[in-house]
Structure 1
Amino acid sequence: MAHHVSGLGISPTSMDPRSHITDLYVFQKPGDDNKTILVMNINPYSPITADAVDPESVYEFGVDTDADAVIDIAFRMRFSPVEADSQTASVHLATGQRAAADLNAGETIIKDAPVTFGAQPHITTAGDVRFFGGLRSDPFFADPVGAGNNFQWTGEDFFVDKNVFGIVLEVPNTMLGSNPKVGVWARVLVPHDGRLVQGDRAGRPGIDNNFNQSVEDKRVWNQQEPAKDRELFLDKFTGVFEHVGGYSRDQAAILAASLLPDLVPYDYSSADGYPNGRNLTDDVINLGIAQVTNGAVPHDGLRPHTDLRSDFPFLGTPH
């Protein structure tokens, strides 16, 4: 199904659910076509406590501005330890060649923003940038029980009462570069053997869970950067399209190549939604299943959650 179950438990660097990405969303801000909203939801087991995010990890939105699947712009979030039932976050912006290579590069654009543990969101604004971090209702909707039973849909949305830890940024489009067509992905860098390494990643919805069949493939996938995707996974993705959807080899190869490298393609001059970025209400699971199965599976009948906010940070009140 979705990215909710991708890297968790696959390796020592992805055992902690606080370092696990559930979904990535990228969309034009409603009512303001000069702004973009970036949402990274983490921790599918987020409790209503102060223990939902890891202060030793780095959470990052990566932006590729020149279609080489390498980070040219990075927004990096770091969280303080929880003290006296409070926690803060800082956001750093790195650009250019050092954006991908140096985790300490760049400038601080948000400092000591309060993290939200309760129902009322605490929002921090600095210039044209807004930040939110905290417990929220999970906007993802799907029927994983039905999917696991040969697509015999139950009609039940498993995620309707679930929470996540949401990391939300509002940035001016100018921060994403002069070319409106970019690629966006998210990753979590976790401490391992005295250094920070990539423990989980997210781009298009459902890619890892639907296409990577073995534990080893999932481990390699979640610890590599998108620039290596076609070299290491194009043939395997092609095989999934052939086997599941009955596509010819040539058709399957074209479809597989369209998904790799795994970044969310986004034109910030457009509000169209998936596959241009991803809105919180986009029915990505049914679209993905239809593509993989060559249209053989009926719609699951589910609809977007009704508890979304109409304003920043857009994610609903936690349950």
Structure 2
Amino acid sequence: MKKLKILLGISAIAVAGFFMVAADHIDAPAVAGGTSDITDFYAFRAQDQDNIAFVANVQGLLSPTASASAQFDENVLVEINIDTDADTVEDLLIQAVARDGKMYVFGPFAAGSSAGLNSTINTSAPLTVVDITGYNDAAVTATNASNGVKAFAGPRDDPFYFDFDQYNEILAGNAPGGFNNPGTDKFAGTNVLSIVVEVPKTLIGGTGTINTWLETKSK
């Protein structure tokens, strides 16, 4: 059992009906550019429509050169919170932590005492273990045969499109015409470290709409 404390609070709250996304690139001063920095969080109905996919991205703005040596921090716990009854309190957790070239994904499991500022890794929860995919390698995935949870972890192209420079010009009052069409993707050619967890809807429950958010926690 391992205690961790919050370094970065909530990346964003998203409602996972069909597709929701939240992005937060290097704008949290306490963790900007660090190994616990959350860039994006996605939740959407998977290709198998009986499943929900959760995508947690950390360590943004990695160049291709940096991506080749980038690693998940073994001292950082990535925690997906799921609220199934619309009270904005987590009912279920999915925890992911890297060890020796593998990503260990625990859950989903009832939040209970594992939630909050000091999380305990629930080592008794259902476990899915996947080898971390190397940069430019074919994707490695793993499935827990007992509950159908699937997992992937490794560097991937940053999927978030944003004309950040034009955005700053708009804020400064220098762009009365607003955004350009097309804009310039500030994140083009950069990578993130991704953790993807696909979960059968039967393990989530609830009324059909969930709230979900992402936290990173560190020793």
- Interval containing the TM-score (normalised by the shorter chain): 0.7 to 0.9
Greater relative contact order (Cα < 8 A, sep 6+)? 2
Structure 1 CA distance for aligned equivalents of residues 83 and 42 of structure 2: 16
1:143 matches 2:143: no
Aligned to 1:153: 179
Structure 1 position 98 matched with structure 2 position 96: no
Q: Tell me: CA distance 1:148–1:96, structure 2 relative to 1, closer, same or farther (3 Å).
A: closer
> Of residues 121, 126, 139 in structure 2, which corresponds to 1:121?
139
1:188 is aligned to 216
Distance between the aligned counterparts of 1:28 and 1:68, measured in 2? 22
CA contact (8 A) 1:90 1:108 kept: no
Q: Offset of 1:2 from its aligned partner?
A: 4.1
Q: Distance in 2 between matches of 1:5 and 1:16?
A: 6
Q: CA deviation at 1:186?
A: 0.5
Instruction: Please give the secondary structure, in 2, of the residue aligned with 1:166.
Output: strand
Higher helix share: 1
Where does residue 170 of structure 1 map in the other structure?
198
Secondary structure, counterpart of 1:149 in structure 2? helix
8 A Cα contact 1:72 1:100, kept in partner: no
Q: CA deviation at 1:42?
A: 0.7
In 2, Cα distance between the equivalents of 1:17 and 1:182? Answer: 29
Indicate the structure (1 or 2) with the bigger Cα radius of gyration: 1
* Bigger fraction of residues in strand: 2
| CA shift for structure 1 position 52 | 3.1
Give the Cα–Cα distance (whole angstroms) in 2 for the partners of residues 121 and 132 of structure 1.
8
Give the Cα–Cα distance (whole angstroms) in 2 for the partners of residues 91 and 108 of structure 1: 8
- Conserved 8 A contact 2:81-2:212: yes
TM-score (norm 1): 0.53
CA contact (8 A) 1:60 1:187 kept: yes
Mapped to 2, the partners of 1:76 and 1:50 lie a distance apart of 24
- Counterpart of 1:107 in structure 2 is 125
Q: Could you tell me how far 1:103 is from its partner in structure 2? A: 1.8
- Equivalents in 2 of 1:24, 1:2: separation in Å? 7
Q: Is the 8 A contact 1:67 1:182 kept in 2?
A: yes
Aligned residue pairs, count: 180
| Partner SS for 2:49 | coil
Instruction: Give CA-to-partner distance per residue, 1:212-231, whole Å, 9 cap, x none.
Output: xxxxxxxxxxxxxxxxxxxx
Give the ranges of 4+ consecutive aligned residues of structure 1 lying more than 6 Å apart after TM superposition. none
C-alpha deviation, 1:99, in angstroms? 4.1
Gaps of 5+ in 2: 1-21
Structure 1 partner of 2:153 = 133
Name the TM-score, length of structure 2 as normaliser. 0.75
Q: Give the secondary structure class of the aligned counterpart of 1:17.
A: coil
- Letter matched to residue 170 of structure 1: E
Root mean square deviation, CA, Å: 2.0
SS at match of 1:55: coil
Shift of 1:15: 5.1
> Residue type matched to 1:100 in 2?
A
Tell me if 1:5 matches 2:26.
yes
Residues 71-82 of structure 1 aligned to structure 2 (within 5 Å): 71-81=90-100
Distance 2:24 2:192 in 1: 13
Secondary structure of the 1:71 match is coil
Distance, in Å, in 2 between the alignment partners of 1:109 and 1:121 is: 20
**SS of residue in 2 equivalent to 1:24:** strand
Rounded Cα–Cα distance in structure 2 between residues aligned with 1:160 and 1:15: 19
C-alpha contact 1:73 1:99 (8 A) present in aligned 2 = no
C-alpha distance in structure 1 between counterparts of 2:126 and 2:33, whole Å: 27
- 2:25 alignment partner, SS class: helix
Equivalent residue runs for 1:55-74 within 5 Å: 55-74=74-93
Matching residue's letter, 2:54: L
User: Is the contact made by 2:26 and 2:33 (CA closer than 8 Å) also made in structure 1?
Assistant: no
